[in-house]
Structure formats: structure tokens, C-alpha cells
Amino acid sequence: MEELFLEVGAEDDRARLDIFLTDYALRNNLGLSRTNIQKLIRNRQVLLNSLPADKPHHKLNPGDTLRVFLPEKEKEGNLPEDIPLQVVYEDKDVLVINKQEGLVVHPAPGNREHTLVNALLGRGMELSDVNKGRPGIVHRLDKETSGLLVIAKNNQSHLKLVKQFSQHTIQRKYLAIVEGRTEFDEDVIEAPIGRHPVRRKEMAVSFAQNTKYAKTFYKTLKRFGNFSLLELRPFTGRTHQLRVHLAYLGYPILGDSKYGKKSGFSRLALHAQELGFTHPSTGKEIFFSSKMPAEFEDFIAKNSDR
């Protein structure tokens, strides 16, 4: 087991233990997130002045010594596969793809094959391993959702991108076709989301305890027939947020068998059209956009005269 020996300097006086170690891990490309660090502390794998430290929020003093027992790297069980990917951008740090509808992002119990992770491994590329079971995966799109997704090719890029997502500085815009003619040209949906009280695999707007704040901006781009084309910008990133918020308003996304009706469209009518973020190495803002899917255009054209 690899060990770290660190001494706290005057510049880190009163710093939190978990933040001090997370910053060190980021600077030295150790591939450990703050959650990983907190787990090490709670598992008594961090010694503070030769004694186990069990409080991530412990305030450090100059001269404190730390001994950190790093976890051993796990063997990967994911298999490479030759799955076509539409690459939008690639450099030594990041890869941006336009994910096709129907592609699961990462393996899970009962679904170990035919995922984006398998496709990435099939390209033989270096990927971050912050999360051993999901190499390269910084964020996800639902299987039924198409559109832009960024992948981290090393741990330093991974952690910097995760920080941007947690601070809500990532620029994201989605297109959705929903059932019904929206009442407002634009609006902000602020409604907390949590597990459905009965259908535990689903999420729901709920004002009970153990829910999370969620906020979505929408703009009506076009009303046609009994449908609306919307631009969506999520301020938060809750599971199924866009689908749950729109269903809550009474405008379920077409093709959504979980929160709306499966009929009416050949797939889930949700597409991640734009993505912008600060490049983890250069610090420059980069921005990507993709075309509206052809099936969206065809559906709008066929129903606009009704």
C-alpha cells in the first residue's frame, strides 16, 4: 500500500483536513476526489500527528504531520468494444462526443456491455480512473437522450471538470419536444426533486424531506399542433431533472415512457445541443454545439400545419 507523508505549512493554517488533502491530490494528479479523501479519513487511513483522524472538517495547524494510506488501484472489469462514436473534439485532456440515442453511458449490474465506456476502451485511449468502474466519465446523459458529452482523459482534467459541474459553471442547453402548448414564452422551474415514494426507480417533484433543490430555465422556441419545442437550461443536475420538471408542469417530453407517454415519438425527444466549459489545462472557455436531430425536424415539419 502506497503512503504519503505531509507536513502542514503556515499558508494552510486552519485549513480543513479534507480540503487540504483534496487540493494536494489535485495538484499531484493522484486521482482522488474530496469524497474519496473523506472516505479515507473515516476509515482511519489518515494519521494526524501519528493518531487516526476521524473528522474531515478538522482544522489543521502549521507543523501538523499527516500520514495517508492510499488505496490500491483496482483491476478493471470493463471490456473494450468496437462501437462507433461521433467525435466532436479531442485533445490530450478531453474528448467531446455527440452521443447517439440508445447508448448507455457506463456499465452497471446487469448491463456490462455495449456502453459508452466499452466504446471508449475500444478506442485504446487513456482515460481518467478517478472512478474505477467508469473510466473517463465526468457526467452522464440518459440512455434515451442524445447529444454532447465531455470525457476526461486524465485524472487532473476529471477533477477540474467535476468541480465546474459542482459549481454550476458548465454551460448546457437542451432541446425538447413536449406534449401541449406551453403557456409562457419562458419561465424558470424551481421545484425540489427526490425519489418517488412508491416507484423507487423514478424521481418526482416532492416537498418532503430528503429532496434536493432543482432549477430549470425553459424558453418556448415554437408551438405547433398540440406540441411545443423548448430550449432547456438546467441550473442544477439532478437525476432526470428535465424530464421530471416538465412532466410536473403538465408538458411531458415526447417518447418518455417513464414520466409521460411512450407513444407520439420514436424516441425520447431530448437532445443535449450545446456544451461549454473551461478547458482544464489551458483555462480557456471552449464551446460546442450540435445540430437538431433529424427526427426532431421531421416531426416538427409533419405537425406544423395541423
Q: Are residues 297 and 273 in the same domain?
A: yes
Tell me, what CATH number does 89's domain have?
3.30.2350.10
Q: Which domain range does residue 128 map to? A: 78-166
What is the full DSSP assignment across 107-172? Answer: -BTTB-SSBHHHHHHHTT-----SSTTSTTBSS---TT-EEEEEEESSHHHHHHHHHHHHTT--EE
What pLDDT does 11 receive?
Answer: 84
Same domain, 298 and 175: yes
Domain ends where: 34, 69, 104? 69
Q: Which residues have a catalytic role annotated?
A: 142
From residue 207, how far is each of 43, 189, 210 by CA, in Å?
34, 14, 9
pTM as predicted: 0.75
Question: What cell does 189 get?
Answer: 422551474
In which element (H, E) is residue 62 found? none
Per-residue tens of pLDDT for the chain, all 306 residues: 688 999 999 888 999 999 999 988 877 778 788 888 999 999 999 999 999 998 999 999 999 999 999 876 554 467 899 999 999 999 999 999 999 999 999 887 556 789 999 999 999 999 999 888 889 999 999 999 999 999 999 999 999 999 999 999 999 999 999 999 999 999 999 999 998 888 877 899 999 887 899 999 999 999 999 999 999 999 999 999 999 999 999 999 999 999 998 777 889 999 999 999 999 999 999 999 999 999 999 999 999 876
- H or E segment and range at residue 88: strand 87-90
**Of 135, 166, 197, the domain-final residue:** 166
Query: Which helix H or strand E contains 226, and what residues bound it?
Result: none
Contacts of 26 (CB under 8 A, 6+ apart): 156, 159, 160
CATH number where 31 lies: 3.10.290.10
Q: Which amino acid is at 102?
A: G
Supply 94's cell numbers.
Answer: 478531453
User: How much is the pLDDT for 25?
Assistant: 85
The reply to whether 97 and 157 lie within a common domain is yes
* pLDDT for res 189: 97
State the sign of the Cα–Cα–Cα–Cα dihedral 202, 203, 204, 209: positive
| Residue 151 and residue 35 share a domain | no
Residues 178 and 242 in one domain: yes
pLDDT at 110: 58
**Residue 245 has what DSSP assignment?**
H
The domain tally of the chain equals 3
| Nearest in space to 184 (alpha carbons), one of 259, 272, 253, 246 | 246
Can you tell me whether residue 223 is helix, strand or coil? strand
Are 183 and 52 part of one and the same domain? no
Does residue 244 contact residue 193 with C-beta atoms inside 8 Å?
yes
Nearest-CA neighbor of 25 among 51, 53, 6?
6
DSSP 8-class letter at 251: -
Same domain, 48 and 65: yes
Residues 142, 175 within the same domain: no
Is residue 58 located within the same domain as residue 82? no
Is residue 180 domain-shared with residue 256, that is, in the same domain?
Answer: yes
Residue 224 corresponds to which cell in the numbers above?
405547433
Of 122, 147, 166, which marks where a domain is finished? 166
Furthest C-alpha separation in the chain? 75
Domain co-membership, 175 together with 304: yes
Query: How many helices and strands in the chain, by DSSP H and E?
Result: 6, 15
For Cα atoms 47, 50, 56, give the angle at the middle one, nearest 5 degrees.
30
Pair (183, 293) in one structural domain: yes
pLDDT at 209: 80
